[in-house]
């Protein structure tokens, strides 16, 4: 078993603190997870969580404009953030002796962001997010795959039915009141986990955390996940869709609803995804790229989602001139083939997953992020030390059962992109 040093604390206002000291490194990672993501957005609010992530870097009562970045970079540090379906996280990595600066910056925007919120800042970041959507989704080959696929995989009313980026129409409609309501509901210490990882003194870190975060009041309480998380259990007929677009090559996506991250059966799905698509020895690469030569690249990934159902995504980009129907047929054949897996395939997939986890644990910033994740989703950051054991427990029988119950045609959506033909 891996042993990651980890101690847990909490403040009276509900802020959970995870400390993982590592005196072997001269840096410290500060990682703050808020338990809010796109699943918390109601009708007409798609993209609000992501827009708010941008707004959090626009200053707070004691930090002007772009000063969050300037102060950190001035001491040799870096900062960023990301929004996902189930969470939003903010993180810094900086020299250990400047830890107090990062804690003060995070506390100031958690407690005093609203006084600095202005219409000008909202319009500025609204334009940034809209341009991001255009560049990454609307004007990118295959860029809208997730918007299309989520609507196929998750039925109406499910909180994962829309992409994290949101729609241009909704982004255009947000007001300062929307942002203030969102902040008051979700950006509170009792809805957050603060993780410190690296070279720092735990006693001093706790003193600073109490000093800067302790005076921030808890939130109003009742927080909701928008929509119906149980909608995936209904008789939802997933379909196939073919899109003629400005893409260079045919590409086929297949997606299936699988158990959520907190379900023990998730690990069989995770291993199944690795058997299909991780590495050059995976089934998809060996079959579609090397043997049949119908695809130039392949991939498979399982999204570790927490609400109702997670998702396995499999894709293949065809070689020039490949028939879309043939590409889909061979891709589906490999998915169906998971109902019969060999022990060595499972062992290989588990070994590769172990290697990936160990690689993450070697980097203090990624270690901090994992600790925040396990504390937020499972209430147990110590789970980081036993995660590999859950992968090792996956058997060929478990993968075969998962494939038979969750990866069949009754639970499968197929999205195909084909190059646009000349008029």
Residues of the chain with pLDDT under 50: 235
| Predicted pLDDT at 236 | 53
Pairing relation of β-strands 412-419 and 295-303?
unpaired
**Where in 63-124 does DSSP place strands (E)?**
78-83, 88-95
| Predicted pLDDT at 235 | 47
| Enclosing H/E stretch for 255 | strand 251-258
Please return the burial class of 253, using the count of CB atoms within 10 Å of its CB with bins 0-12, 13-18 and 19+. buried
| Predicted pLDDT at 225 | 78
Q: Where are the domains of the chain?
A: 7-213, 239-419
**Residue pair 414/254 in contact by the 8 Å Cβ criterion:** yes
Cα distances (angstroms) measured from residue 411 to each of 65, 148, 265: 48, 16, 16
State the angle between helix axes of 119-133 and 48-55 in degrees (0 to 180), rounded to the nearest 10.
120
| Predicted pLDDT at 335 | 97
Q: Tens of pLDDT along 267-313?
A: 999 999 999 999 899 999 999 999 999 999 999 999 999 999 999 99
**Residues paired with residue 242 on neighbouring β-strands, in sequence order:** 416
DSSP 234: S
Domain 7-213: state its class.
alpha beta
| Predicted pLDDT at 421 | 85
Intrachain domains 7-213 and 239-419 with the same fold? yes
**Residue pair 69/57 in contact by the 8 Å Cβ criterion:** yes
The span from the CA of 18 to the CA of 4, in Å, is: 12
The CATH code of the domain at 239-419 is: 3.30.830.10
Query: pTM of whole model > 0.75?
Result: yes
| Predicted pLDDT at 422 | 65
| CA nearest neighbour of 126 among 63, 68, 53 | 53
Q: To which residue do tokens 């196939």 refer? A: 240
Q: Tens of pLDDT along 59-86?
A: 999 999 889 999 999 999 999 999 999 9
């Amino acid at each position: 078993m891996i042993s990651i040093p980890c101690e847990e604390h909490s403040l009276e206002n509900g802020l959970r603190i995870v400390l993982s000291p590592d005196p072997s490194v001269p840096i410290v990672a500060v990682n703050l997870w808020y338990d809010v993501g796109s699943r918390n957005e109601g009708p007409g609010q798609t993209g609000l969580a992501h827009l708010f992530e941008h707004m959090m870097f626009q200053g707070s009562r004691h930090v002007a404009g772009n000063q969050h970045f300037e102060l950190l970079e001035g001491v040799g540090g870096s900062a960023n953030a990301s929004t996902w379906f189930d969470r939003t996280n903010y993180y810094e990595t900086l020299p250990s002796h400047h830890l107090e600066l990062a804690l003060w910056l995070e506390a100031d925007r958690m407690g005093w962001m609203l006084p600095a919120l202005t219409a000008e800042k909202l319009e500025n970041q609204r334009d940034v997010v809209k341009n991001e959507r255009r560049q990454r989704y609307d004007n990118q080959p295959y860029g809208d795959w997730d918007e299309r696929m989520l609507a196929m995989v998750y039925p109406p009313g499910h909180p994962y039915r829309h992409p994290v980026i949101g729609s241009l129409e909704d982004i255009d409609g947000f007001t300062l009141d929307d942002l203030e309501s969102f902040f008051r509901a979700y950006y509170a210490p009792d809805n957050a986990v603060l993780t410190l990882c690296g070279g720092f003194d735990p006693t001093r870190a706790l003193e600073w955390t109490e000093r800067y975060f302790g005076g921030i009041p808890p939130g109003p309480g009742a927080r909701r996940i928008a929509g119906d998380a149980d909608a995936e259990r209904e008789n939802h007929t997933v379909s196939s869709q073919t899109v003629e677009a400005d893409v260079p090559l045919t590409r086929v996506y297949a997606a299936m609803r699988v158990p959520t991250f907190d379900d023990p059966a998730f690990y069989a799905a995770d291993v199944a995804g690795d058997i299909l698509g991780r590495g050059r020895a995976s089934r998809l690469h060996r079959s579609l790229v090397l043997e049949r030569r119908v695809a130039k690249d392949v991939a498979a990934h399982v999204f570790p989602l927490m609400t109702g159902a997670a998702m396995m995504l499999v894709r293949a980009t065809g070689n020039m001139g490949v028939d879309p129907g043939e590409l889909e047929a061979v891709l589906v054949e490999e998915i169906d083939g998971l109902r019969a897996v060999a022990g060595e395939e499972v062992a290989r997939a588990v070994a590769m997953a172990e290697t990936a986890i160990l690689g993450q644990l070697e980097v203090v910033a990624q270690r901090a992020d994992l600790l925040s994740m396990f504390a937020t989703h499972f209430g147990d950051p110590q789970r980081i030390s036993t995660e590999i054991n859950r992968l090792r427990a996956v058997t060929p029988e478990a993968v075969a059962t998962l494939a038979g119950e969750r990866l069949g045609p009754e639970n499968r959506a197929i999205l195909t992109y084909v190059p646009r033909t000349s008029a």
